[in-house]
């Protein structure tokens, strides 16, 4: 018959056996701690996810409510009688078809023309040496540090003197030299292996050929990432368009949505305003759903030094 193990008998066990028992106990405790840590991590992620998702869900819920229910600002997400006609009313009342077209035009023009300026500028800063390079880069970087709102009034007076207010050229001009885009492509160009560039130079390739035919295909994920982020930024642009336009002819969707909250008497129709906001957010949400994987891949590739 096997005698039960006691604290007294354990004291006389060989050291190797005692150490092994301690090790197995430590492994068991570690597994339990890791399991509890995973549970806490998942709970934290779910909580943070709900924190970000709830406002969008509540906004969508508000857009479907009748006006009387919307004015109560009930945090409940359930809508007993959804009013899909709010979207039609918002579309017609604010003439959103005109402003959606302007937003699409503005975003496409900025993104399309940006590539003719920021890519050569990024290539020059990353791969070439020229006089005044550090001073020019410091000046551009300092400009990026300043908040855009701080320079709106001086820029407006300058634009008004130059006749650039309330026209497409003046609206697009500052975005053609986006410091964010230059900085992004600079980092991508610097990660291209030097051996590839030297091989192209040995074949007597010029800078334009190296940039367009050698380096750009290698940084395709960065191009996609910049396209998506730039589209989202331009699609949501509000203050710049509001200040630099005096008429409704070229104003974009975010500025037009403000009109849904401006009423001469009574209270704003918050359900209609939320419906208009959901119309504005729809392209961005769809883009995030279908392109978030490519953005993550590009970002991870940049961190690891891969493209």
Write a three-state SS string for 196-223: HHHHHHHCCCCHHHHHHHHHHHHCHHHH
Token pair, residue 196, equals: 């590839």
Averaged confidence pLDDT in the chain: 82
pLDDT at 116: 92
Model confidence, pTM? 0.76
How many C-beta neighbours within 10 Å does residue 121 have?
A: 19
Query: Which range is least confidently modeled, 62-71, 140-149, 208-217?
Result: 140-149
Distance from first CA to last CA of the chain, Å, rounded?
68
Other beta carbons less than 10 A from residue 238's beta carbon: 13
For the segment 179-194, the average pLDDT, to the nearest whole number, is 87
- Binned at pLDDT 50, 70 and 90, residue 284 comes out as confident
Element (H, E) at 81: none
Residue 281 has pLDDT above 70, yes or no: yes
Is 91 in contact with 75 (CB distance < 8 Å)?
A: no
If you ran DSSP here, which 8-state letter would residue 166 be given? T
- Answer yes or no: are the C-beta atoms of 238 and 23 closer than 8 Å: no
Q: Which residue has the tokens 């809508």?
A: 79
pLDDT at residue 156, rounded to an integer? 87
What SS3 class is residue 281? helix
Instruction: Kindly list the distances between the CA atom of residue 60 and the CA atoms of 76, 94, 257, 288, 298, in Å, as whole numbers in the listed order.
Output: 12, 18, 16, 17, 31
- Residue 303 scores a pLDDT above 50: no
Confidence (pLDDT) at 297: 61
Burial of 96 (0-12, 13-18, 19+ CB in 10 A): buried
Mean pLDDT calculated for residue range 234-255: 89
Q: What is the pLDDT of residue 68?
A: 84
């Amino acid at each position: 018959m096997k005698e039960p193990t006691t604290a007294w008998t354990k004291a006389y066990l060989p050291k190797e056996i005692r150490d092994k028992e301690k090790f197995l106990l430590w492994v068991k405790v570690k597994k339990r701690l890791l399991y509890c840590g995973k549970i806490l991590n998942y709970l934290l992620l779910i909580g943070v996810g709900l924190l970000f998702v709830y406002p969008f869900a509540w906004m969508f819920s508000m857009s479907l409510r009748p006006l009387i229910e919307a004015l109560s600002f009930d945090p409940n997400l359930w809508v007993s009688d959804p009013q899909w006609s709010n979207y039609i009313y918002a579309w017609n009342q604010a003439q959103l078809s005109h402003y959606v077209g302007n937003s699409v035009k503005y975003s496409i023009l900025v993104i399309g023309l940006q590539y003719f300026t920021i890519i050569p500028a990024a290539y020059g800063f990353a791969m070439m040496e020229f006089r005044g390079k550090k001073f020019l880069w410091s000046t551009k970087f300092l400009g990026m540090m300043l908040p855009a709102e701080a320079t709106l009034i001086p820029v407006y007076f300058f634009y008004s003197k130059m006749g650039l207010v309330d026209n497409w050229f003046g609206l697009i001009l500052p975005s053609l030299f986006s410091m964010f885009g230059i900085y992004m492509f600079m980092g991508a160009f610097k990660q291209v292996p030097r051996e590839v560039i030297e091989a192209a130079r040995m074949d007597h390739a010029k800078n334009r050929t190296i940039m367009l035919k050698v380096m750009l295909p290698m940084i395709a994920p960065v191009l996609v990432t910049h396209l998506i982020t730039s589209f989202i930024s331009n699609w949501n642009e509000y203050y710049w368009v509001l200040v630099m336009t005096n008429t409704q002819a070229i104003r974009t969707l975010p500025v037009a949505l403000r009109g849904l909250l401006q009423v001469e008497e009574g209270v704003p129709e918050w359900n209609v305003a939320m419906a208009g906001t959901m119309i504005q957010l729809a392209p961005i949400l769809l883009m995030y759903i279908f392109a978030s994987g490519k953005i993550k891949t590009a970002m991870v590739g940049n961190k690891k030094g891969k493209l």
